Amino acid sequence: MSAWTHVAGIIRLNDFRHLSGSTKESVLSAVLSDIPIGSEGPLSVKIVENPNKSHIAAYDTMVFGDLRGHESPDPVIDWFKALHARLRIESMPHVRQAIIHIDVEYGEKLVVIADIDEVTIVKVGDGDE
């Protein structure tokens, strides 16, 4: 039997695009950098760009999918922590808020919660459900 890790999340990014020059493509490139890959492919990413270029709530980024061959939430957590740190170092864009649910089949269930300043990991349930 294969091990699966199921992921569903949204990451909201602030950006003054008229000042920073970022684009949907540059944000996608940053998000895809080192994204976890299972034996059947990586997590999927979909970015919705706010059409109002002067609005600070610039991008809503959905991350979702099923990673075959992963028995731990750690690759997803490590990827997100690195993304959060990378987007904090640069002034724009940066993570405004995020929530990612990670469900390791027959194992841990976690929620990653983030804002501009910190990333918090919360265990959900007992993992035997």
The CATH number for 73's domain is: 3.30.70
Look up the domain containing 117 and give its range: 4-123
The verdict on residue 68 lying in a domain is: yes
What does each of the 129 residues of the chain score in pLDDT, given as a tens digit? Answer: 688 999 999 999 999 887 888 889 989 999 999 999 999 999 999 999 999 988 899 999 999 999 999 999 999 999 999 999 988 765 678 899 999 999 999 999 999 999 988 999 999 986 554
**How many contiguous H segments (helices) and E segments (strands) does the chain have?**
3, 8
Number of domains into which the chain is organized: 1
The verdict on residue 128 lying in a domain is: no
Tell me how far the alpha carbon of residue 67 is from its chain's centroid.
14
Lookup: tokens for 15: 């950006």
The verdict on residue 53 lying in a domain is: yes
The verdict on residue 26 lying in a domain is: yes
SS3 content of the chain, % helix, strand, coil (to 5): 20, 45, 35
Q: State the Cα–Cα distance between residues 34 and 125, nearest whole angstrom.
A: 28
